[in-house]
Amino acid sequence: MSMEELGEKLNLTHQQVHKYEKGSSSITVGRLLEICEVLHVPLSFMFEGAAVSLESLQPRKQQVPSFMNEALATRQGLQLVEAFQRIEDPELRRRIATLVAAVADRRS
């Protein structure tokens, strides 16, 4: 089956199918399942011969700045973060963050 035919069956452009094939566009599990259905192959077929580790499937996490680790290592820092996470109102959270930053700047 050509990329054009696959694209037609998936309602995608030839360019998008090509990007999936090259790996320049990420593909959702749902889209991968659609492709498997069109090609009449099981999902496991897509991974045959691939050396895939669970680590490689995890999103890359940004490195946590050292000051965050230091803050979370204190009881007060952990209490502050835990309490802040329980606040559901985004506007209130923004105001509290602004207040804490202003207090910190004033004391410096």
Predicted pLDDT at 57: 62
Task: Tell me if 18 sits within 8 A of 3, measured CB to CB.
Answer: yes
What digits encode the pLDDT tens for the residues 56-106?
Answer: 666 666 677 787 778 878 888 888 888 988 999 989 999 998 998 899 888
The larger pLDDT score, comparing residue 89 to residue 48, is at: 89
DSSP code string of 35-47? HHHHHT--GGGGG
Any residues with CB less than 8 A from the CB of 96 and at least 6 apart, and which? 84, 87
What digits encode the pLDDT tens for the residues 24-39?
Answer: 888 888 888 999 999 9
Q: What's the pTM?
A: 0.45
Predicted pLDDT at 92: 93
**DSSP H helical ranges for 3-107:** 3-10, 14-22, 29-39, 54-57, 66-72, 75-86, 90-107
The full set of domain ranges for the chain reads 3-47, 66-107
